[in-house]
Structure 1
């Protein structure tokens, strides 16, 4: 049939148009990659061998991911501890805008994410994705609490009475995940209960005694189907099963896989014990985490979907001192690489992390020194899909898609706010980093717990040229008061505007009147 004959027949014209539309929709659907976000827990920048030429721990599967994607060397978590960072990953928003101004939530805490807050899982679900959370939540959810104890439920020593036969509220399923399986706090925080799609899989009937040392966990209620040593293998098995089930379906999938390792309790299974030959279970646990990454990538290969799957791998903060830095350094290994401090700190070791984004045969292998924050995942995903980012969410998220060979017109991140376990602030722009507190702001020396007469002699403001002084040894605040003044004003503006991206002014969850803001106001520059 000729083109002229088709054009003279309205029914045939409609049929052709319908076929074209169906084809376009199908192409649009298949062009959306599956997305997997693997979040290690307390993994140091220097623990990944491709990031550390002197590493005594070998991580071949993570290295392979880096060799086949973009390896970011200036990536940071939004906080130096885990709850706040997890909030920022899912919401694209700085954690200190919430009620949580310092520290972390407990295993009994209520949800830190408000019910009306749009998460990246919500966004992807609305854009045709199946979504799954499998692992460590540690953002709080609302247990059916029948009686509280004398302590606030955010307190890590709290032991309220819970009806474990009833569903939880305001958990992962509320915040965009079709499927969820995990536990509420850290692996060292009770209650030790698996929750699947809002319902505990077993009612805890026993109390496990607390342990100390690298295998430490707090005493608390434990379900019969919960074994600490098997938590990481169980999460891995469930994730691989989810990939197998959802591979090559009509809908793409998003898996958020926050691991409980190598955080305490440091419990490598028998296969990995002694594997590192460093006489340190932490090093063995890191190798086990690397194997988990390998299991995920192998599942993608086995299902023939590697070339349609975007993988992000990172850590929620720097390495914890529970790793035993002194012992590891005696073996020639530094989990923080050349950077100062560790988990909890405002120094680089507290929040500079390995960060890899890979998409086989789509993203060309490269190394990038672009400044990146874990809040940026949300905007990057939006950019990948060519969608629009609404003005009232992901307000601190910048796409880093332009660092790849894929096209992007999105603005790049030019500055970042760092946050310590004690709620102290630092502001970074270009090569300069201003710290608006004395000492580490965390657990490393010097901190607020040292002798007061010594702590009071420390400068209340610090300024480092991160490019020339990666170890943050030389405080140049006296030589450059103009930088301190500029950065203070930039920081205050971002705090008070409720956002760091362009757009209308937004509100923080709580008014910015916390102690840290007061400290900034006192700096008379």
Structure 2
């Protein structure tokens, strides 16, 4: 009888333990999901797959902070910018929609506009704002803004002449604060390249440019040439732009935490680094063995580290989702010079550079970290920056309307290790709106050559693999067996060409690919 009593007690104890364990686990899960995470989206500019040590073991450029972030989070090896250039990638990142659907070719410069994001289109920032987030965009916008002259006429000249016509007393009607962001501090286009060298705060320029840029006063080296003659404000220093952006982002985080609001925050930190011209701040000059551009990459890594440190100091790191990515591959003159001078290949191990439809033009670093939620791992999942929209919607329990995020896939199961193989197809585009489609290892380019750079000219002819005819009307590659895209198989596999071409046309006609 005593034995039976002990057995019953033991069984009861085990059952009770299991129940307590389940309740504790459930409670822990509910607590973890009871509040939405802060989200910090860091977008580097023209940073290639091979520019970071955590992606390229041969890199001589120190990137300790991103190496650490990759070790602690999820590092993607098959991640892609939606386009091979700035403006369309940014449009797609913030809307979950491929930019070719708007019909615009090229990129904005100077006072280019109007905003490419349609007024009624749901953006990542607007979605999060509706879920109670405080939202801020710091840095490079480059998706277009409208400026007016003294007669109230919209300026259409994107060069110096257009800048000189701006009436700075008139508010900007279609900037970031009109597309879901509570606060904006940054520049309209490429900060140190595109004619208007002045900072915008919210919908105005507090200190307008009054002088024509004197380029003779800027640093002179192999990476300093991509700087157009424009108008410059007194508080605009080409070497300090990214440090100004850093301070503004740090202030946003600190002010948000100090306000003791229960609202989560979304910070879109959009860097100038490492777009040409490569003007690292003075404290980073000469800090690497890879020249000014190497120093610039090192500075970019430092900025990431400082943002993470700020989150840690403010005690919000544990519940902050950090996303680090790039808008396209490395710039042509930058990559060529880095290869010849320092044996550093910013596109390694891929063929192609910025503007090219080949992998080097759009396969880019993507690191996602959320302490205690995302296990440290390396993922080979096929993923596009378009997917950040649907993934974020899933994380904050937001039901996307049908007329939004048309090319975005929810990758949250990948982040939590519950599912893989989510994307069957993926689209990419070039500056000229040439398209490519990916299915598994197969990649179909619906155009000849790169879709961007001129490989008939002397500068790039030597990069064409032997046996490749750049005049072939279309291209088909198997990335498993031919990762460098050196064997065009479109004639050997007409059935695959037909299948992928048909699917591409379907996605174009339907207006969505998800």
TM range (shorter): 0.7 to 0.9
Residue of structure 1 equivalent to 2:336: 325
Aligned residues: 473
* Per-residue deviation, residues 63-98 of structure 1 (Å, max 9, x unmatched): 111111110100001100000000001001001011
* Per-residue deviation, residues 356-404 of structure 1 (Å, max 9, x unmatched): 1100111111111111111111101011112322111011110111112
Across the aligned residues of Structure 1 and Structure 2, the Cα RMSD in angstroms comes to 2.7
The runs of 5 or more residues in structure 1 that have no matched partner are: 1-22, 502-525
Residue of structure 2 aligned with 1:351, choices 356, 362, 365 = 362
TM superposition shift of 1:321: 1.6
Residue 206 in 1 paired to residue 211 in 2?
A: yes
Q: For residues 241 and 151 of structure 2, what CA distance do their matches in structure 1 show?
A: 28
* Per-residue deviation, residues 319-375 of structure 1 (Å, max 9, x unmatched): 102324244355332100110010010110100000011001111111111111111
Residue of structure 2 aligned with 1:465, choices 470, 473, 478 = 478
TM superposition shift of 1:149: 11
Q: For residues 430 and 459 of structure 2, what CA distance do their matches in structure 1 show?
A: 15
Residue of structure 1 aligned with 2:146, choices 142, 147, 150 = 142
Residue of structure 2 equivalent to 1:45: 49
In 2, are the aligned partners of 1:41 and 1:259 still within 8 Å (CA)? Answer: yes
Q: For residues 127 and 327 of structure 1, what CA distance do their matches in structure 2 show?
A: 44
Q: TM-score, normalised by structure 2?
A: 0.87
Relative distance call for 1:209 and 1:330 in structure 2 (3 A) is closer
Residue of structure 2 equivalent to 1:382: 393
Q: For residues 93 and 306 of structure 1, what CA distance do their matches in structure 2 show?
A: 30
**What SS does structure 2 have at the residue aligned with 1:441?**
coil
Residue of structure 2 equivalent to 1:253: 265
Residue 79 in 1 paired to residue 83 in 2?
A: yes
In 2, are the aligned partners of 1:341 and 1:444 still within 8 Å (CA)? Answer: no
Residue of structure 1 equivalent to 2:20: none
Residue 424 in 1 paired to residue 434 in 2?
A: yes
In 2, are the aligned partners of 1:145 and 1:162 still within 8 Å (CA)? Answer: yes
Residue 405 in 1 paired to residue 411 in 2?
A: no
Residue of structure 1 equivalent to 2:196: 191
Q: For residues 274 and 448 of structure 1, what CA distance do their matches in structure 2 show?
A: 32
Residue of structure 1 aligned with 2:498, choices 444, 466, 485 = 485
In 1, are the aligned partners of 2:138 and 2:268 still within 8 Å (CA)? Answer: yes
Relative distance call for 1:207 and 1:41 in structure 2 (3 A) is same
**What SS does structure 2 have at the residue aligned with 1:363?**
coil
Larger CA deviation: 149-158 vs 75-84: 149-158
Relative distance call for 1:218 and 1:243 in structure 2 (3 A) is same
Residue of structure 1 aligned with 2:318, choices 307, 326, 330 = 307
Q: TM-score, normalised by structure 1?
A: 0.85
In 1, are the aligned partners of 2:41 and 2:269 still within 8 Å (CA)? Answer: yes
* Per-residue deviation, residues 416-463 of structure 1 (Å, max 9, x unmatched): 111112221111110000112211112252579999xx9997211111
**What SS does structure 1 have at the residue aligned with 2:197?**
coil
Residue 391 in 1 paired to residue 413 in 2?
A: no
**What SS does structure 2 have at the residue aligned with 1:49?**
coil
**What SS does structure 1 have at the residue aligned with 2:386?**
helix
* Per-residue deviation, residues 227-279 of structure 1 (Å, max 9, x unmatched): 1111100000110111111125310000011101110121011221121212x
Relative distance call for 1:193 and 1:330 in structure 2 (3 A) is closer
* Per-residue deviation, residues 22-64 of structure 1 (Å, max 9, x unmatched): x9xx969952000000000000100010011211112110111
Q: For residues 276 and 153 of structure 2, what CA distance do their matches in structure 1 show?
A: 26
Q: For residues 504 and 32 of structure 2, what CA distance do their matches in structure 1 show?
A: 40
In 2, are the aligned partners of 1:84 and 1:95 still within 8 Å (CA)? Answer: yes
**What SS does structure 2 have at the residue aligned with 1:161?**
coil
Residue of structure 2 equivalent to 1:434: 444
Residue of structure 1 aligned with 2:244, choices 227, 234, 253 = 234
Relative distance call for 1:496 and 1:222 in structure 2 (3 A) is same
Relative distance call for 1:290 and 1:202 in structure 2 (3 A) is same
Q: For residues 204 and 152 of structure 1, what CA distance do their matches in structure 2 show?
A: 18
Residue correspondence of structure 1 range 102-251 to structure 2 within 5 A: 102-110=105-113, 111-146=115-150, 152-154=156-158, 158-159=162-163, 161-187=165-191, 188-210=193-215, 213-215=222-224, 216-247=226-257, 249-251=261-263
In 2, are the aligned partners of 1:50 and 1:63 still within 8 Å (CA)? Answer: yes
Relative distance call for 1:34 and 1:450 in structure 2 (3 A) is closer
Residue of structure 1 equivalent to 2:280: 268
Q: For residues 68 and 34 of structure 2, what CA distance do their matches in structure 1 show?
A: 26
In 1, are the aligned partners of 2:160 and 2:230 still within 8 Å (CA)? Answer: no
Q: For residues 99 and 457 of structure 2, what CA distance do their matches in structure 1 show?
A: 22
